[in-house]
Structure 1
Amino acid sequence: MLSRRGFVRGAAAAIAGAVAAPLVAAPLAKIRALGVMRIAVYRDFAPWAAEREGRLVGIDVDLGKLIASKLGVRGEAIQYIADESVDDDLRNMVWRGSLLGQAPGDVMMHVPYDRVLGQRNDRAVLIAPYYRESFAMVCNRATTDCEVPPPQLKGKKLVAELDSIPDFYLSGSFGGVLRPDVKNKLSGEAAVAAVAGGEADAAVATRAQVEAGIKASGDRLTLRKGPLPAMTSPGWNVGMAVKDDSRDLGDEIERIMEGLAKSGELAGVFAAHGVEYRPPLLT
């Protein structure tokens, strides 16, 4: 199954306490009557959603709240732990709620916008693709030439998120020549931070994680400009999801997103977190 953890694996932490919320995801009229839209985001998933000094911040948090403001309601971002597959996440975050008793959100952020995934999950409706994600390499500017063919990184200290595509790429590509040099972190954010802190020479993570890490590090990091040879993932579109009985909400969100893209507000949300906005590739 298509797994969010297969791209970026969230750190496993327990949610403390029950969430006071409506028992089911709400269609548009109910959201407006309540005056609040619940925005389901992944936990510990910077730069998209993460707690910083007691506040939940990130691209998905800001974008969800911006959409809510355009609807004339307050946006409330709710964190969810990534489950074993995106199918499980759609169940937990969109149409049923988690086995821990956490109610679903009204809209789920950061869903792979994938036709097969949508067909397999008829209780959720995939909507509003808003970003094209991919993988990138980042290097310590002082120790590593990021543009060399990756096999020439043998002997360098390499890092990637545990059991992720970047981990498999560094460990398994090029005949496994780099495998002895690869160490693991619990997230792509932590892998990039290890390079910035001098613990490693290079990392592979999602492009958003890399760009956000570069912004946070000053001039210590450099982004590989060339492609990643032998990388099997061409990238993927990121969108949202609503419950099957909330299609009116989905339609309104798509209308709002079209306006945000045209006005430049969408790109501004990404830029605030150091990430270049890349529109989805749609066929």
Structure 2
Amino acid sequence: MKLITAIRTFCLLLCMALTMPSHALSYDDIQARGVIAIAVYNDFPPYSFKDENGNAAGIDVELAKALAKGLDVALDLRWMTPDETVEDDMRNYLWKGMNLTSEDGQRVKADVMLRVPYDREFAMKRDDIGHPAHELVHMFAPYQQERWLMAYDAAKLDRPKTAARFMYHPVGVEVDTVPQFFVTTAYGGRFREKSRTYPSTPEAFQALNDGEVSIVMGTASQLEWLHHNNKNPQANEHLTELAFPLLGRSEWELGIAVHSNYRQLAYALEDIVMAHINNGDFVRWGEKFGVDFQLPERFRPEPEVTNEEAIAQTP
């Protein structure tokens, strides 16, 4: 009887193991398995995308490869389709998992997620009833400082210096982004008539090439990559800084996230990130994709002080 009970218990546990979603793994589990699953955003150049040969490419792909190499394990890239918010993405790919499965039949989940906000206010955010909103996620290792930028058609207008230009020239923005909110609501909606919304920044940039809009607002890295790879011989687009009132935060940091239970993994990954910051790899990865990669300010080298400046600063 005990043998039969043991067999039934074993079968029940086996069935549960087969039907439960695969969970993110700890540092020791990853070392034992020899593979780390890292989630990057799908079709999101210059960070993570498939090149013309179908190979994974981008700054975050380079980082993912470096993290796997630093742990001496194989890399399993998990391509993320963005949900409505980054909170949804972290839930879907780090701690809960998605209901849908990948092409190989596995539950879509990852050990690590790249390109998440590194911000104390965001990390300490509370939900509607006062509980920590991100208690299941640990965010760490900021590796990029992103900012807003603007591309404009220099054949149609001079470099925009004020937001007033948006009242007279059509502006392309990506849907559900800060720039879209700005051009549709700022200053009582005065720019709304000239705003044009597109599914992505690359599509807005293409509209700039096609003459549909005169200005595009977007993240600096994406616009720099698009500018670098613009093959339109008639293109006359230029880039300029964008720092208008009411636009909100002009710069923000991006980093890495893991499940909050796996701090040992986070410490190991943070050491790898710091090594590649110190040896200049992030800047080189940016150059590879035509991006003026901005490290978080705390990691930037101190500006050199001339003798004249040193004398002037001497009390």
For the superposition of Structure 1 and Structure 2, which TM-score range results when normalised by the shorter chain? Answer: 0.7 to 0.9
- Counterparts of 1:134 and 1:279, CA distance in 2: 11
Within 5 A, what are the aligned runs for 1:60-79?
60-79=60-79
- Counterparts of 1:229 and 1:243, CA distance in 2: 36
Per the alignment, residue 44 of structure 2 pairs with: 45
TM-score by length of 1: 0.84
**Which string of whole-angstrom CA distances, capped at 9 and with x for unpartnered residues, describes residues 114-134 of structure 1?**
224334212111111111112
Percent identity reads 30
**Which string of whole-angstrom CA distances, capped at 9 and with x for unpartnered residues, describes residues 105-148 of structure 1?**
11100111122433421211111111111211111232232233
Per the alignment, residue 179 of structure 2 pairs with: 166
Structure 1, unmatched stretches of 5+, are 1-21
| 1:185 aligned onto 2:198 | yes
**Which string of whole-angstrom CA distances, capped at 9 and with x for unpartnered residues, describes residues 83-102 of structure 1?**
23222211111122112243
**RMSD in angstroms over aligned alpha carbons?**
2.0
Within 5 A, what are the aligned runs for 1:188-227?
188-217=201-230, 220-225=236-241, 227=243
Bigger CA drift: 265-274 or 214-223? 214-223
Contact 2:30 2:36 survives alignment (8 Å): yes
Deviation at 1:264, TM superposition (A): 0.3
Match 1:238 to one of 254, 274, 283: 254
Bigger CA drift: 25-34 or 224-233? 224-233
- Counterparts of 2:163 and 2:238, CA distance in 1: 15
Distance 1:181-1:100 versus aligned 2 partners, 3 A rule: same
Per the alignment, residue 294 of structure 2 pairs with: 278
Match 2:111 to one of 103, 106, 129: 106
Per the alignment, residue 104 of structure 2 pairs with: none
**Which string of whole-angstrom CA distances, capped at 9 and with x for unpartnered residues, describes residues 130-180 of structure 1?**
111121111123223223322134332211012321012122224433211
Structure 2, unmatched stretches of 5+, are 1-20, 102-106, 125-132, 299-315
- Counterparts of 1:145 and 1:174, CA distance in 2: 22
Deviation at 1:281, TM superposition (A): 4.5
AA aligned to 1:269 is W
Write out the 4+ residue segments of structure 1 that deviate beyond 4 Å after TM superposition: none
Per the alignment, residue 28 of structure 1 pairs with: 27
Contact 2:38 2:114 survives alignment (8 Å): yes
Task: State the number of aligned residues.
Answer: 261
Distance 1:198-1:52 versus aligned 2 partners, 3 A rule: farther
Per the alignment, residue 57 of structure 1 pairs with: 57
Distance 1:225-1:80 versus aligned 2 partners, 3 A rule: closer
Match 1:261 to one of 269, 272, 277: 277
| 1:144 aligned onto 2:160 | no
- Counterparts of 1:132 and 1:88, CA distance in 2: 22
- Counterparts of 1:88 and 1:94, CA distance in 2: 10
Larger CA Rg, structure 1 vs 2: 2
Contact 2:41 2:82 survives alignment (8 Å): yes
- Counterparts of 2:38 and 2:157, CA distance in 1: 40
SS state of the match for residue 224, structure 1?
strand
Per the alignment, residue 264 of structure 2 pairs with: 248
| 1:134 aligned onto 2:147 | yes
Deviation at 1:226, TM superposition (A): 5.9
- Counterparts of 2:80 and 2:197, CA distance in 1: 23
Contact 1:144 1:202 survives alignment (8 Å): no
Deviation at 1:52, TM superposition (A): 3.2
Contact 2:142 2:254 survives alignment (8 Å): yes
SS state of the match for residue 157, structure 2?
coil
